[in-house]
Chain A
Amino acid sequence: MYTEKVMDHFKNPRNMGEIPDADGVGTVGNPVCGDMMTIYIKVKGNRIEDIKFKTFGCGAAVATSSMVTEIAKGKTLEEAMKITRASVADSLGGLPPVKMHCSNLAADALHAAIEDYSKRQKEVKK
């Protein structure tokens, strides 16, 4: 059902965990739907210096979360905002069609974390 790459990320998730003093946190999905993920970012000089995730969900949900952290780490915020659901799925060698919508939320969680960071920055400037 899943590609080897998906299974590799499911078995050995990259960057799993929390960042207690994160600069931005984004959560998407909810337990009712069966998928929920939170992404934590640490930003330094407009770049994602550190990133971690926590996910409740199926194999695809875990693998996309892991993959998005791997892609986003070290990227500028602008670059990270360009990461899409499709590019995450492609990096994993594809996902089963039924998983494309329900479990492929990792890019959204990343964008939410970046937006949270931007909001916090604005508040600091005020």
Chain B
Amino acid sequence: MDHNAGKPVDPHVTEAMLPYMNTSYGNPSSLYTFSQASRNAFEEARAKVAELINAEKKDSIIFTSGATESNNLAIKGLANRYKDRGTRILTSAVEHMSVVNPCKYLTTKGFETIFLPVDQYGFLSLESLEKELTDKTILVTIIYANGEVGTIEPIKEISQIVHGKNAYLHVDATAANGQVPIDVRNEGIDLLTLSSNDMYGPKGVGALYIKEGTRLEPLLHGGGQERGLRSGTENVSGIVGFGKAAEIAQKEMRSESERLIKLRDRLIKGLLEPIPHAYLNGHPTKRLPNNVSVRYSFIEGESMLLSLDLMGVAASSGSACTAKTLEPSHVLLATGLKHEEAHGSLMFSLGKQNTEEEADYVVSLMPGIVKRLRAMSPLTPKELNM
């Protein structure tokens, strides 16, 4: 139940990809007939990805090596292109590291980055967005929905504010794409990051939607593929797989989301109700269909993960100990949680394969795990002033 970390590739996707590794291996940039098949399939994939987000045309989509590259291309590419107009960039306190770090990097190159606060649910403070959005602001980059707390941001409202000051809006939809309907035209998005694996496509492929008229400096210079924005021979099989995954996501989104929401809410209820001092992270309803994020006082996330792992359940935690850094999740801290509360957080990201029986199994394990770890813990309500 840790699908944010990795999803299996849909078998229909694998099937669609195989010919472009075995038989139709032509380079789409080549002129001869042999390459026609890969060129066609490649452009068809572009059309399918464009359709998923209601882009105005297929050429608004640029394929990349994944969401990290798309985020880097959008942020650094736009900043470098428009630096004469302004050097101020706004983002939120609940972004993925592939947005946080390019923004921080730009501060070493003469740009100024402001991390806007969020409320207890993880919603961006529109008030501070309005306050910080100056004429010098060229870019606002906001996550569509956060994978750790699941909160879906009010992108349309954000867009109206951003465009009121003639800044560009980049949205990182990595955790959301394929789960909730995204409409770049209706929501007013200038740049949108998409990831293939997050919709059951292969890893190592992503896309960036670029609204017509939005200009970027490329990160990679070379043969000029992807309208000069992303040089390098195209990953045809991967892109074809991404296209297939987008097609399936579009077809199944409504029914699968309904199923996931039921499963999500069943799991949340079961994880919280029988256990005292147990709380939900994020918003109860405005959250990704697959996101379950809870916290238990007095115990630590990794020891919960290990206990679940021993029972065959994969999850993730908000604690430092699972990561390379020692700080707990910056996203959880941004929602106002104390360090010890962030350390005690547990996240499940559900996927197509997860069933009600599995959710019930996790629910049946949790009280025992929490009880055992609490018995071991020196912390009590008194120490934490509860």
Interface residues of A (CB under 8 A from B): 2, 7, 10-11, 13, 16, 27, 31-38, 54-62, 98-99, 102-103
Contacts and interface: CB of A to CB of B under 8 A. Distances in A.
Given A56-B298, A59-B302, A98-B324, A31 B310 contact: no
A105 to B, nearest CB: 12
Interface string B328-368: 10000000001110010000000000000000000000000
How many interface residues does chain B have, given as a range?
20 to 34
B378 interface: yes
Contacts of B298: 56
A11 B310 CA distance: 9
B365 to A, nearest CB: 14
A98 B327 CA distance: 12
B384 A34 contact: no
B339 A32 contact: yes
Interface of B: 298-303, 306, 310, 319-321, 324, 326, 328, 338-340, 343, 375-379, 383-384
B377 A56 contact: yes
Given A11-B310, A31-B340, A56-B377, 14 more contacts: A31-B383, A31-B384, A34-B300, A34-B319, A34-B321, A54-B376, A57-B300, A57-B302, A59-B321, A60-B321, A62-B376, A98-B321, A98-B326, A99-B321
A16 B376 contact: yes
Nearest to B342: A34
Contact of A34 (B324, B339, B375, B376): B339
B339 A55 contact: no
Given A31-B379, A34-B343, A98-B324, A59 B319 contact: no
B199 to A, nearest CB: 29
Contact of A55 (B328, B338, B378): B378
* A-B pairs with lowest CB-CB distance, top 9: A31-B340, A58-B302, A58-B321, A54-B378, A32-B339, A34-B343, A56-B377, A38-B378, A59-B306
Contacts of B340: 31-32, 34
